[in-house]
A and B are shown apart, each in its own frame.
Chain A
């Protein structure tokens, strides 16, 4: 797969965890450092850093230096737009192909 499924899998993998979704949602409100984010969730700063790395590796977050810390922000629109498109159009094809397979299976069992 060139750009499609592998990347989408990485994104969905990163978003499968509820803590990560919560962190991503907090960061989408305003960019934040791991220390700032750790104040709002019941896990250690180290655990927060680990989740943030997974989100960054999936391309959902960008890192920027903030003094001695790293501040995370949500990746600007183009990538999110691509991810959304790939997820939506991919899901439409999954549905279409399942219905095509179903139609053909039905035909095979009842030849016209």
Chain B
């Protein structure tokens, strides 16, 4: 089984503005660095990871984890609500524990242990 957290809320801004805030510094991390292409590096300061999917301003999927810890997958989906609101859905999941043994290193500099090869089964 996969452990999973789901949250959803409506934000008082259109998707373009929400996208700007969630992919910019200050929210996910103070010194956030996100290379918004599939396989791009992600640096959250205390965590590192990589971008699985980026489709502005609709969908951002990335993996993150602290060094040495298994990474988890975060999926952010933005849906316009009327003219100036956005429904944001967050799903964070950690994959089946049995996959821990694969230990595929991330393409980035971090020490997290899941990589693109896992996407097909995650």
- Over the window 86-106 of chain B, the binary record of Cβ atoms lying under 8 Å from chain A Cβ atoms (1 yes, 0 no) is 001010101001000000000
Docked complex: B51-106 residues within 8 A CB-CB of A:
72, 88, 90, 92, 94, 97
Is there an interface contact between B94 and A3, defined as CB atoms closer than 8 Å? no
Closest residue of A by beta carbon distance from B86: A104
**Within the complex, which residue of A5, A82, A94, A107 is in contact with B17, where a contact is CB–CB below 8 Å?**
A107
Is there an interface contact between B13 and A107, defined as CB atoms closer than 8 Å? yes
- Over the window 41-55 of chain A, the binary record of Cβ atoms lying under 8 Å from chain B Cβ atoms (1 yes, 0 no) is 000000000000000
Docked complex: B1-18 residues within 8 A CB-CB of A:
1-7, 9, 11-13, 17-18
**Within the complex, which residue of A2, A4, A86, A103 is in contact with B21, where a contact is CB–CB below 8 Å?**
A103
Does A108 touch B at the CB level, under 8 Å?
Answer: yes
Q: How many A-B residue pairs have CB under 8 A?
A: 62
Q: How large is the interface on B (under 10, 10 to 19, 20 to 34, 35 or more residues)?
A: 20 to 34
Chain A residues with CB below 8 A from B117, complex form: none
Is there an interface contact between B6 and A1, defined as CB atoms closer than 8 Å? yes
Chain A residues with CB below 8 A from B6, complex form: 1-2, 4-5
> When chains A and B are docked, how far (Å) is the Cα of A1 from the Cα of B28?
24
Is there an interface contact between B9 and A101, defined as CB atoms closer than 8 Å? yes
Is there an interface contact between A93 and B5, defined as CB atoms closer than 8 Å? yes
Chain A residues with CB below 8 A from B18, complex form: 100, 104
CB distance from B67 to the nearest CB of A (A): 18
Does A29 touch B at the CB level, under 8 Å?
Answer: no
Contact status of A85 and B17, CB under 8 A, knowing A93-B92, A101-B11: no
Closest residue of B by beta carbon distance from A5: B6
CB distance from B104 to the nearest CB of A (A): 21
> When chains A and B are docked, how far (Å) is the Cα of A94 from the Cα of B8?
10
- Known A-B contacts: A3-B3, A100-B11. Give 4 more (CB < 8 A): A78-B97, A94-B7, A97-B7, A100-B88
Residues in B lying within 8 Å of A, measured CB to CB: 1-7, 9, 11-13, 17-18, 21-22, 26-28, 72, 88, 90, 92, 94, 97
Residues in A lying within 8 Å of B, measured CB to CB: 1-5, 78, 82, 85-86, 89-90, 93-94, 96-97, 99-101, 103-105, 107-108
